[in-house]
Structure 1
Amino acid sequence: MALSISRTHGLIKDALDYRAARQDMISSNIANADTPFYRPRDIRFEDALASKAADLLKKDSDNLALAQTDGAHIPLKNEKGSYKPTTFFRDGHMARNDGNSVDLDVETTEMSKNSIMFNALIQANKKSSAIFKSVIEASQKVN
């Protein structure tokens, strides 16, 4: 059984996993910079994390609830619990003559931003773990 430091501790773990997956995807884009007709891919996970955080913290979402006024209506699909990131093609850049649309400037910038966010999550995790550890050590001294 895993020890849970807080309700949001799992959220940091998921964010780190998503950041690692995004780093792999950006690396793949850079590696395929010379592959003909390659389109860069990316992953969007912020919505999934926000939904999970709202569910964990029991916040009301900004979504308008739909009413089913007739039993013959198609019921609204409950998508809670399906915290999944979405992958997409990052278009918008001019394709070269070989059809490749990877822009190394964009990819290296996205990699740098992702690395900064990953390191910030690591530091937040260390900080919350250090607080938890200090509480345990202080309680041991009292006894």
Structure 2
Amino acid sequence: MAHDIQITFDCADPAALADFWALALGYRLQDPPAGFDSWDQALDALGVPPERRNDRSAVVDPDGAGPRLFFQRVPEGKLAKNRVHLDVRAAPGLTGDARMAALEAAAERLVAHGATRVERHEPAPPLAGGHVVMTDPEGNEFCLD
């Protein structure tokens, strides 16, 4: 039996990182619980004080196909390279120059929203199509692939 998965990010600013990844993946902020029109309304009802309202956030695939991304505030900063990272499939079906142009366009768009470009890996056919290594606004590595 297959299981659904959730990808969890430890971070300093869950709301900001959720916004970034929603933009990067075409996701959206998870809806508030049933019966509430907004997260503020739900958090008020749950008694969550204002200073704790950015302790966690989540984004979801609007089509329901991809995993939920969960962001939780932690006191420590990122200290080392990720052992697991996301590959954002920004050029599906493209090869060669068209693929790299699509990856460059995606990189520019994400840099404008706080990402950092790390390095470009050129295509090396037949197995490597080329990719761009990036970091999100909190330094988590990911690839545009």
Give me the TM-score of the superposition, normalised by structure 1.
0.26
Q: Which has the higher contact order (CA 8 A, sep 6+)?
A: 1
Give me the TM-score of the superposition, normalised by structure 2.
0.25
**Greater C-alpha radius of gyration:** 1
